[in-house]
Structure 1
Amino acid sequence: MAPASDDESIEPRPRVLQRSRPYLNEQMITDLKPNRVLTQSRDQQGAIHVFNMVWAVSDVLGFPNRTRCTAMALYHRVRLYYPDIDYNIADVGLASLFTASKFEDTLKKSLEIQAVAYNIRYTTDEPLNSDSPLLEDQHRRIIGIERQILEACSFDFRTRHHQPFLIKFSKYYNISKAITALAWLIALDAHKTLACLKATPQELALAALIIAARLKGIRLGVTQLNTTTPSSATNSPIDPSTTTSPGNFTPSTGPTVQIVYDKWKTTFAAVLETCHDILDLYTDHLHHTFVGPRNGADAFIRVRIELNREAKNEGILPNNNNVAAGLLPASPVTPGGYGYGSSYGDNSNGNVNGRGERERGRERDGEEEVVVTAGDKIRGGAKGQQLTDRSLHGSVRFTLSKRREDEEWKAINKAVERGEL
């Protein structure tokens, strides 16, 4: 650890430990953006703009969907960990796509990505190639943002995708190809929201299938076949006789398909929260999605009503109001840090919905020993300090292992007791 300078406080400061957290719950996300300047609506609009740009550039360069989805997940993560980043969000989006191309082994040079993005944006200008000097300043910015993206994801290069789960679930529950294709687009739309950070791949796949099936009149996702849920048209604020939805929404009075969520290492509450995140997108930004214009707002409102009624039957309140009611939270709410400062307890990664068990399973599989040490003066993050505070001296440790993190903290605490830190 670098010695403190004379103008710094004599209070000992331990080095920062940041463990990779592939999934964040609602409380962690709330803690990460307490002083966000942009409103949530404007932030969502920015994410949609970046998504469209990433999609257009990827079409030209031939990136697969896995690279596009990883790019959006990296964009959301770096925007959470560095909310006051000074760069244009378009630069952050291009840096996320550049980094995702490395993660997914679909490599493209940064200048190639920049040239394609420039030519898409300025169609009336003379096309640029990757050797143009006009791209040099932006290139330097993107390389700088890439460093912050790697720090935000704790140098964890493992990626997780929903597409294999979506296909397997469709086959397992005998879901038609038309509904599966609709769910495929819904899952892509979900990457315009923070659901791609909160939900595991199987939760995102199940949520997309549930919404798609209910848009087509199939009551997929019930936990008990012997429970009856009234049609969403009953007592609905929308009169079904005056519905003008282009999708001609059919209430889910057709066949019911039960899902045993424990079988897929998740819970109905966790999948329900993901459904609400996706439905919020369709409610607020209907015409900026793949699926929204095809169905209309009324259809998604009715799906929300149906899901809320079934959640009420299970004792789950919508929109994360379960904590105040003393009920099981839709997403695990745990105190403490989110990858920095004092270490988490055993429940920090969300054992309520199975995420903690999956992390322990990965440790049993031998993935716990990877540790990366970054240089001095990189992102601060002791408990109670702003994530963007880079004034602290000392190394920052990035680890993938809960066990290794605990061992590091024990060593640090002993060093503090001896007066070495």
Structure 2
Amino acid sequence: MAPQPARPPAPAQDEPASNDDPIGPPSGLSSTPTLYISEQTIRHMLKSISYDEAREDNYRLKGIQLIDNVRESLQLPVRTFDTAAVYYHKFRFRYPSSEYDFSDVALASLFVACKTEDTIKKSREILCAAHNLKHPNDHKTPDDKAFEFPSSVTVGLERHILETIGFDFRAQYPQKILVKTVRKMFPPDERDRDNRGQKFMRTAYDMSIDLNKTFAPLKQSSSALVLAIIELTALILSQGLDRVKQLDVKPFRVDRAPVYETMMDLLDLYTQFPKSTKVGPRFDLNKLMDVKIDINKRMSEEGYQRHVGWCDKCSRETPEVHPVTPGSAKSPATSNSLSGSGSVRRKAGTNEGTLRYVFDAEEARKEKALVGEHFNDEYEEYEVEVEEPLREEPRHPNNGRSTYPIRGHGHHLDHGWGPYNRGRHTSYSDRSRGRKYGSHY
């Protein structure tokens, strides 16, 4: 039996690891997701996907309304609806509607939100609820075979939505703060004596649902959303204005600019799409327009812009992207997101790679600094003296005399042969017609 080579002794437990040992996979790109997006950034993102405002607004309202209807059918909490609406908006910022069916993405967003908020529902249950709402005469159960392919589509879109949101599961939930604030404004004894508090609460709560049909939950904090809803409700109902003025807003820590922007977003929704909202049909359009004009006047007097942090120079420098025409894109109403498989097609030009998570901020900074040492380009400057020999000018073998042949009469040189320079009196005739040597005219 051949002798086995001796194994090196194992390092002791107390000895530190060598510096040459690999620490782990490279961190790659480290980025911190932002919870809020400005209106100008949203418009730039929509322009990059050739956003058609007239068409996409309709899909946005229909998608959020579908999420709300399925949520009520399954008796899911309103927090799940808020989260699903945020995921739906973020997905639409990256992919145009010509690449997916808005109903498929809406149901997939609700499916992901159910997992995020711990109100787990199977994809078949969500699809079955949507089918029964659309076809009340054709009632089906989640175990029906008709939901096999749509379920695979939903699972594929789930992975796609997670990549789009960057696994950032945060979302605004203003209803909890809204209910506490309204109860503080209208104590229980006053609500029992008259219905003002109940009417105020019902209108404000429905307005918080309509708020998800705008981009306000992506731009403002929950405190700003609550203050805007309460003030706009008081202006529309023409009651409770004194209570709104007496409300202590210091704990909210919100400026007036985000509140004004949120109110204007809601009024734009109610004046342009009143039938697609819960609060819009309850009030006269002239009343809503008067409130909008009043808020515009107050904003101009106090020196606030329509959108917070708007830059006119940046808007002028942004190139204009022409949207696709409705005829060039497939209608989501007549086509499915996927036409043959349960996998999702990736958008061209996206950065694909491994996604890593570091929950400790200090460890993330250390790892980034450690990996950055291997990617820094360092240069050293130094001078080197080099002796170069002088180059001598070439000399002709005939001691510098011209090598051109002497042609024609006399000693005139031939200047008419291309591509050499022609003389002032030389003919420019073609070579096939013969050449005229240096002649005098």
Which residue is equivalent to 2:7? Answer: none
Counterpart for residue 298 of structure 2? 310
Question: Partner of 2:61 in structure 1?
Answer: 48
Secondary structure of the residue that 2:213 maps to in structure 1?
coil
Pick aligned residue for 2:262 from 274, 277, 302: 274
Aligned to 1:97: 110
1:167 is matched by which residue type in structure 2?
A: V
Task: Tell me how far 1:14 sits from its aligned partner.
Answer: 9.1
Task: Report the CA distance between 1:63 and its aligned residue.
Answer: 0.9
Closer/same/farther in 2, CA of residues 54 and 255 from structure 1, 3 Å limit: closer
Matched, 1:198 2:158: no
CA distance in structure 1 between the aligned counterparts of 2:117 and 2:244, rounded to whole angstroms:
38
Contact 1:218-1:256 within 8 A present in 2 as well = no
1:31 Cα deviation after fit: 3.0
Which residue type is aligned with residue 140 of structure 1?
S
Residue number among 95, 106, 111 corresponding to 2:119 in the alignment: 106
Distance of 1:407 and 1:305 partners within structure 2 = 53
| Counterparts in 2 of 1:21 and 1:256: CA distance versus 1, 3 Å | closer
Hey, what does 1:25 align to over in structure 2?
A: 38
8 A contact 2:88–2:105 mirrored in 1: yes
Answer with 1 or 2: which has the greater Rg: 2
- Matched residue type, 2:75: G
TM-score (norm 1): 0.66
Which moves more between the two structures, 55-64 or 393-402? Answer: 393-402
Change (3 A) 1:59 1:14: closer
Q: Is the 8 A contact 1:84 1:388 kept in 2?
A: no
**Structure 1 residue 192: deviation in Å?**
0.8
* Equivalent runs, 1:42-81 vs 2, <5 Å: 42-81=55-94
Match status 1:208 vs 2:168? no
Give 1:123-272 correspondences, 5 Å limit. Answer: 123-125=136-138, 127-174=139-186, 176-218=197-239, 220=241, 257=245, 261-272=249-260
Give unpaired runs (5+ residues) of structure 1: 1-12, 221-253, 326-334, 336-377, 381-386
TM-score (norm 2): 0.63
Residues 211 and 202 (structure 1), Cα distance of their counterparts in 2 relative to 1, 3 Å cut: same
User: 1:399 and 1:192, CA in 2 relative to 1: closer, same or farther beyond 3 A?
Assistant: farther
Q: Is the partner of 1:128 in helix, strand or coil? A: coil
User: How has the CA–CA distance of structure 1 residues 85 and 41 changed in structure 2, closer, same or farther, with 3 Å as cutoff?
Assistant: closer
- Whether the 8 Å CA contact 1:74–1:96 is kept in 2: the answer is yes
Q: Which residue of 1 aligns with 2:192?
A: none
**Distance between the aligned counterparts of 1:89 and 1:52, measured in 2?**
11
How far did residue 319 of structure 1 move? 4.5
Determine the C-alpha separation between the residues in 2 that align with 1:405 and 1:32. Answer: 29
Secondary structure of 1:97's counterpart equals helix
Is 1:287 paired with 2:275?
yes
RMSD: 3.2
CA contact (8 A) 2:82 2:171 kept: no
Aligned-pair distance for 1:150?
1.8
